[in-house]
Amino acid sequence: MEDARYVETAGEFACLDRAESLRLLATVPVAAAAGHGAGRAADLHSTVARKLDGTIVTFEADELDAGSYSGWSVTVTGRAALVTDPAGAERYRQVPLVPWAAGSRD
């Protein structure tokens, strides 16, 4: 590989910087989110905004290549915040997210 941030030796791990992590997150069509409220996992089957506003959440995306035994995983942890500003909410509505679960997901 050309990028020196990657370790090319099989079985080795490399720590990615923030810019590379965000770039990789933007490339995946599927990722997982989990919320933690009061030290336990939050119920993600209900409206996320109601359940997770103000709590610590984790978002993870991965890509694996079984043929080359390589891949990457990016995990982001932070405090969730309900977007109440109409302009900010509209900006997020423009992100091409498609939930797999049925029903309205605003």
Give the integer Cα–Cα distance in Å for 77 and 57: 6
User: Does residue 64 belong to any structural domain of this protein?
Assistant: yes
How many CA atoms lie less than 13 Å away from 34 in the CB half-sphere? 10
Do the domain assignments include residue 8?
Answer: no
Question: The pTM is what?
Answer: 0.61
Tell me which residues of the chain have a pLDDT lower than 70.
1-11, 35-50, 105-106
pLDDT at 24: 92
Instruction: For residue 57, give the 3-state DSSP assignment.
Output: strand
H helix or E strand, kind and range, residue 33 = strand 32-37
Residue 12 placed within a domain: no
Classify residue 11: in a domain, yes or no. Answer: no
Is residue 69 in a domain? yes
Q: Report if residue 13 sits inside a domain.
A: no
- Closest of 104, 103, 45, 47 to residue 80, by C-alpha: 47
Residue-range definition of the domain harbouring residue 62: 18-93
Q: Considering only CA atoms, which of 70, 72, 66, 62 is closest in space to residue 17? A: 72
pLDDT tens digit sequence for 33-59: 776 654 444 454 456 666 778 888 888
